[in-house]
Structure 1
Amino acid sequence: MSGLWVFVCGPSGAGKDSVMGWAATQLAARQDIVFARRMVTRPSHPGSDHDVVTADQFARLMDGDGLAWRWEAHGFHYGIASRYAALVAAGRVVVVNGSREHVNTLKSAEHLRVVQIEVAPVQLAARLAQRSRDTPQEVAKRLARNALFSNLHSDCTIVNQSALADAGRQLVAYLMASRPAEQITSQANYPG
């Protein structure tokens, strides 16, 4: 039996981390759906959803087959530990906080799904400005960069423009429906 990788991606400011966090909380008791922790060569900040590694540690992980997935974005290295590949092989759904640029390079595969979190450009610009992490020029660059991913293939698109729970419920429903058929049958009576 084989499980699935589900890459969740979207532009900075679309609320991807919040939607995934909401869904992870709702699915915390489930063992068949796992939210992977990323390893990133970037310092941690409040609300970070990654484990900090140095560039040397990351290189050793790559050399030692310690990573199932890896990519670069915004000058940092991102990776998903190989132990998650064992969970997919065991039939679990492993959810990854991914990068649109990385996902764009992946070939379509039976064990791979892509969920895209989107928001209207006006609301996205307002969210980015409200965060006060980027200068107005950097916000403009981020918004312009979105055009590069206008044709990104996704198996599910979630528009996160109203209550967080609305988008979160959509992700939960998609993940529940994405479970391999064997798991759905064997867990039909699961009170989740």
Structure 2
Amino acid sequence: MIEWNGREFEGEDLRDVDFTEGELRDCKFVNCDFRHAELKELQTHGCQFVGCDFSGGLFNNSVHHNSAFVNCQFQSANLFVTEFKGCKMTGSSFLEAVLTGVSITGGDFSYVNLRSQDLKGQKLRGVRFVEADLYGCLLEKADLRDADLSRANLAHAKVSGADFRGAAMDGVPFENLDVRGAKLDMEQAVLFAKAHGAKVD
């Protein structure tokens, strides 16, 4: 079982390394190749992954504490029941990834690509999604209270039952968002009304 502390790698091919049930603390990986790697039940603490490729990787039941995954690729990765606690995920892409049972506690998901992902019922309170691509996401009954959705792309997202109260939604194109059944605060309701041509005095 791998237990690395404070190690640094750049441009390394790590596809053959078995990280299953391993633990990484304060490690840094830059432009490393983790494609199809075994990362099941891995725990990371304060690690940095910059520009790494996790496409097809298996993250099942892994837990990440205050780690950063910046501009990383998770295409077709399996993140079943993965936990992200206070993580920085800015600029990463999750196209066609499996996010069933994913748990997100706080953190920064700004500029991420989560197009068409299923996040139904997720507790996403206080998470930063600034300019995130949430096009076509399933967000029914998701808790997005106090989240930062500034300029996020929510076009064609399904939000029935979602709770947006207290969330920053400046620049969200409400004209492309069906908010029927969603919970909005007064400021958000005004933004929605204005986007549909209403004059609010």
Tell whether the structures are fold-level matches, with TM greater than 0.5. no
Structure showing greater radius of gyration is: 2
Higher strand proportion (structure 1 or 2):
1
* Bigger fraction of residues in helix: 1
Q: Does 1 or 2 have the higher relative contact order (CA < 8 Å, sep 6+)? A: 1
What is the TM-score of this pair, normalised by structure 1? Answer: 0.24
